[in-house]
């Protein structure tokens, strides 16, 4: 006799009776745009092994894509953005204290970045893709920002910056841009000394300062190979604007629920563009410590995450999983199917203690798409 399926205790959500499945948030724009394809966009970090919260979001992205296919008859795809722009090394100017950093791309090179993506995500994504029937691709930020469309949208954002700055940085209005030194790859973290000299729809010129090599000029046009470093919200706005230009598929943004406040600003920024409609967004459950703070590499590195005794090592570092990758994918798919079984189970967070309880009860053999 099969054991009863574990059930989380979740409160009634504000979408009760209006939303029967979390994939239904896509329904209105699918009807309005009459698209027969959807591409879900999600992120992957390469600055260390992923924790459970990261893998829950990514697994949910596969399952939501599969649910969109089953509920609306659309062809789904997944596009993961690998953040090789994350800082790998940091230095401080001894005179001013200004921070300089070198990204994973500039410190390690393209080949090593690809290796890290394969190490942390390759086998897992292959298992999830096979289980859900959803194809995926991984694209680095370096490649994304090299596209003509990205550069065109970046230049367009500069022309609107007097308005956008107070949306993307409502407290300060400061939206810095950084450009790696062409000689060493280091860039000023907060762009204090980066100056916009001129800009129009087709070209922008900046002056920047390297800690070792002094001042240098940077020209950005749609067809130059200048590396563009942007703040988190500015980068996401440009990426979403690029995704919106792909007319054959509806772009869908998938992020952890902790991103909801930031996405409010992104939606407001999006609406500054004439006729623009923000992309549909799907927020996935966040995995929490006992204190209610979400699992994060920063808290884990600092040792300040309040973790229960039930927190297994693999929940903090996926490479510590002792079973097979197929077993890990099965566990994640089981969790995801449980969370997606009702919107109220999806629109909440889960402590590592609660995740351990749900896993201990088992998910049975059927852990495919929700």
**DSSP secondary structure, 112-146, as one string:** HHHHHHIIIIIHHHHHHHHHHT--EEEEEHHHHHH
Give the pLDDT confidence score for residue 315 in this predicted structure: 93
Q: What is the rounded distance in angstroms from the CA atom of residue 129 to the CA atom of residue 87?
A: 29
Instruction: Please say if the pLDDT value at position 367 is more than 80.
Output: no
Cβ-Cβ contacts under 8 Å for 356 (sequence gap 6 or more): 308, 310, 311, 312, 315
Instruction: Please say if the pLDDT value at position 1 is more than 80.
Output: no
Q: pLDDT, tens digit, for every residue of 298-350?
A: 777 777 777 888 889 999 999 999 999 999 999 999 999 999 999 999 999 99
- The CA-atom distances, in angstroms, between 243 and each of 79, 148, 150, 163, 248 are 10, 13, 9, 22, 11
Mean pLDDT to the nearest integer, 180-188:
97
The overall average pLDDT reported for the chain is 93
DSSP of 330-350, one letter per residue?
A: HHHHHHHHHHHTSHHHHSS-E
Cβ-Cβ contacts under 8 Å for 93 (sequence gap 6 or more): 99, 100, 211
Cβ-Cβ contacts under 8 Å for 156 (sequence gap 6 or more): 201, 241, 273
Instruction: Please say if the pLDDT value at position 368 is more than 70.
Output: no
| Residues 161, 166, 167, 168, CA torsion sign | positive
117 versus 370: the higher-pLDDT residue is 117
Instruction: Please say if the pLDDT value at position 294 is more than 80.
Output: yes
Looking at the whole model, is its pTM more than 0.75? Answer: yes
Mean pLDDT to the nearest integer, 57-73:
98
Lowest mean pLDDT among 72-81, 220-229, 355-364: 355-364
Instruction: Please say if the pLDDT value at position 85 is more than 80.
Output: yes
Rounded to the nearest 10 degrees, how much is the dihedral formed by the CA atoms of 235, 241, 242, 247?
160
The pairing of beta strand 204-210 with beta strand 195-199: antiparallel
Cβ-Cβ contacts under 8 Å for 298 (sequence gap 6 or more): none
Q: What is the rounded distance in angstroms from the CA atom of residue 154 to the CA atom of residue 133?
A: 35
Instruction: Please say if the pLDDT value at position 246 is more than 90.
Output: no
Topology classification of domain 22-98+105-165+232-360: Rossmann fold (3.40.50)
Give the pLDDT confidence score for residue 366 in this predicted structure: 42
Mean pLDDT to the nearest integer, 247-254:
94
Q: pLDDT, tens digit, for every residue of 23-59?
A: 999 999 999 999 999 999 999 999 999 999 999 999 9
**Residue 186 burial (CB count, 10 A):** 22
Give the pLDDT confidence score for residue 88 in this predicted structure: 96
Mean pLDDT to the nearest integer, 149-164:
97
Mean pLDDT to the nearest integer, 136-145:
98
Lowest mean pLDDT among 24-38, 88-102, 277-291, 292-306: 292-306
């Amino acid at each position: 006799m099969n054991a009863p399926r574990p059930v989380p205790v979740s409160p009634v959500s504000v979408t009760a009776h209006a939303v029967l499945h979390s994939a239904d948030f896509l329904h209105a724009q699918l009807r309005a745009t009459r698209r027969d394809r959807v591409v879900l966009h999600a992120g992957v970090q390469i600055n260390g092994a992923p924790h459970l919260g990261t893998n829950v979001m990514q697994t949910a992205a596969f399952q939501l894509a599969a649910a969109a296919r089953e509920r609306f008859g659309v062809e789904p795809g997944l596009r993961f953005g690998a953040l090789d722009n994350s800082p790998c090394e940091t230095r401080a100017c001894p005179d001013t204290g200004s921070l300089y950093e070198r990204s994973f791309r500039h410190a390690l090179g393209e080949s090593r970045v690809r290796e890290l993506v394969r190490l942390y995500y390759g086998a897992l994504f292959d298992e999830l893709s096979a289980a859900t029937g959803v194809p995926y691709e991984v694209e680095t930020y370096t490649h994304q920002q090299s596209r003509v469309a990205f550069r065109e949208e970046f230049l367009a954002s500069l022309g609107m910056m007097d308005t956008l700055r107070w949306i993307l940085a409502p407290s300060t209005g400061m939206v810095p841009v950084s450009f790696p030194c062409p000689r060493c790859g280091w860039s000023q973290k907060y762009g204090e000394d980066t100056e916009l000299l001129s800009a129009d729809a087709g070209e922008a010129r900046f002056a920047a300062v390297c800690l070792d090599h002094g001042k240098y000029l940077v020209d950005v046009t749609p067809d130059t190979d200048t590396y563009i470093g942007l703040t988190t919200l500015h980068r996401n706005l440009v990426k979403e604007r690029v995704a919106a230009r792909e007319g054959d598929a509806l772009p869908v943004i998938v992020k952890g629920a902790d991103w909801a406040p930031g996405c409010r600003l992104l939606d407001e920024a999006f609406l500054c563009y004439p006729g623009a409609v923000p992309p549909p967004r799907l927020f996935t459950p966040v995995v929490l410590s006992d204190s209610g703070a979400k699992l994060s590499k920063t808290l884990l590195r600092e040792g300040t995450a309040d973790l229960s005794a039930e927190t297994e090592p693999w929940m903090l570092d996926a490479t510590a999983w002792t079973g097979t990758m197929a077993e890990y994918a099965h566990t994640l798919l089981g969790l995801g199917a449980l969370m997606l079984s009702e919107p109220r189970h999806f629109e909440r967070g889960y402590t590592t203690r609660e995740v351990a309880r749900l896993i201990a009860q088992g998910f049975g053999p059927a852990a495919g798409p929700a």
